[in-house]
Amino acid sequence: MQKTIIWDLDNTLYFETEEYKNKLNEVTAKAAIKDFNIPLDIQTATEKVKESYLTYRDGLEIFAKEYKIPHKKLYISYHNYKSDLISMIEPYPGLLEQLKSLKCPQFVFSTSSRDICEKILKHIGLYDFFKERFYSVEDFDVYKKNESTNVYQKLCETIGKKPQDCIFVDDSYSNLNFAKQTGMSTVRIYYRNNSAKDMSFIDSAYKGITECIIGLKKDYDC
Ligand SMILES: [Mg+2]
């Protein structure tokens, strides 16, 4: 059976540098302070974002919990600020050709908002390739991919594929856990070292996008 690849977008189809990640944390803090009047200075709020990632694998959750702000509102506000950072992303040279060399159908499924996905895909030169084949959690009325299997099931229904026939590729292992529970094969992209190698819900791990594409061809006949 021909497999279908579902790609994560952020830090998978482009690399998030430390500088970019720091900026993301900063704009998350800025959104919380400016749009929701959270009484913290930018530095303290940025530390909270980091804490939130460590605790909840999500940068907004801590503000939603501690200040009782609806997650959806934080999500929308954060993405308004994230938009300004897209120009910092350095596209991978030749990625489009590498993706085209895979024989599997390919989709994108992202935690970023639909609007941001579209802007990023355009910026990294993959918009035409993934046009009408990219989905945001927003499309399923949720704001995370690491909360339940539900959103993965809905995604499969939407694209008309069985989870068993899908390979989900993500840099974030908390997402892969739910993809695996849905029945998908799971592939993790890592960069420095494979910090999740003992996690049984990850079927394969490859270092960086190029190794990943080679691995998908060799190990999954894609
Ligand atoms: Mg990611």
Tell how far the Cα of 34 is from the centroid of ligand 1, in angstroms. Answer: 26
pLDDT score for 197: 84
> Residue 13 C-alpha to ligand 1 middle, in angstroms?
8
Distance from the alpha carbon of residue 12 to the mean position of ligand 1, in angstroms: 6
User: Which of the following CATH numbers is that of domain 4-14+92-220: 3.30.1360.30, 3.40.190.10, 3.40.50.1000, 3.10.50.40?
Assistant: 3.40.50.1000
Tokens of 107: 């989709």
Please state, in angstroms and as integers, the Cα–Cα distance from residue 170 to each residue in 70, 158, 175, 208, following that order.
26, 19, 7, 11
The predicted structure's pLDDT at residue 200:
95
Please give the pLDDT value at position 196: 84
Query: What's the CA-to-centroid distance between 59 and ligand 1, angstroms?
Result: 13
Domain limits of the chain? 4-14+92-220, 18-86
> What is the per-residue burial (b if ≥16 Cβ within 10 Å, else e) of 146-157?
bbebebbbbbbe
Mean per-residue pLDDT for 117-122? 98
Give 9 Cα–ligand 1 centroid separation in angstroms.
6
195 has a pLDDT exceeding 90: no
> Can you tell me the mean pLDDT for 141-150?
93
